[in-house]
Amino acid sequence: MNDDATRACETNEGTAAEETRTSSGQRIFTGQLFRVRDGHGWGFSEEAPAPPPGPVHRPARVAQMLALAHRFQAAIDRGDYRDRADLARQLGFTRARISQLLDLLMLAPDLQEFVLDLEAVDGREPLTERALRAVVKIERWGKQRTAFPRPQPANPPDTIHSQV
């Protein structure tokens, strides 16, 4: 055992973090230490851990499905597939699923553009495909626009309320 009652930490030799042992053998650390992952357990470090990564942005799943519907329709129009049933058979989808996807093309063009611009932030989807299916059933674009569920932003901006 070290004769000194106070010494620098073993991993931080010569730093401001110090370890003091009491007469009963308890260790007291002074200075600034950070708890960090160390292999399978936890350890202490004088260096602050790296800040957490920023939010992960990716296209929303409903946007990916709408883009896929556009590709499917383009393939049918080019003659790569005879019809929806042939498309489903060759790609391993059910005919019902192909119909659900291609029905998304019945959305008003501005709503399609809005959906294609949606992003999922940290895995949180802003809009579900099921919510869009109810809107797709509406034939008139004007009524679709009023029935369209506008998703809330994933991270709403902070608002400053002035005191009056």
User: For 70-80, how does the pLDDT look when each residue is reduced to its tens digit (9 = 90+)?
Assistant: 999 999 999 99
**Which architecture characterizes domain 57-147 according to CATH?**
Orthogonal Bundle (1.10)
- What value does the mean pLDDT of the chain take? 83
User: What Rg value do the Cα atoms of the chain yield, rounded?
Assistant: 29
User: In terms of pTM, does the model score above 0.85?
Assistant: no
Q: Bigger pLDDT: 31 or 62?
A: 62
Residues 6+ apart with CB under 8 A from 69: 101, 102, 104, 105
Q: Where are the domains of the chain?
A: 57-147
Asked whether 138 and 105 are in contact (CB, 8 A), the reply is no
Q: How far apart are CA 123 and CA 33, in angstroms?
A: 33
Q: How far apart are CA 129 and CA 100, in angstroms?
A: 9
Q: Is the pLDDT of residue 48 over 90?
A: no
**What is the tens place of the pLDDT at every residue in 56-113?**
999 999 999 999 999 999 999 999 999 999 999 999 999 999 999 999 999 999 999 9
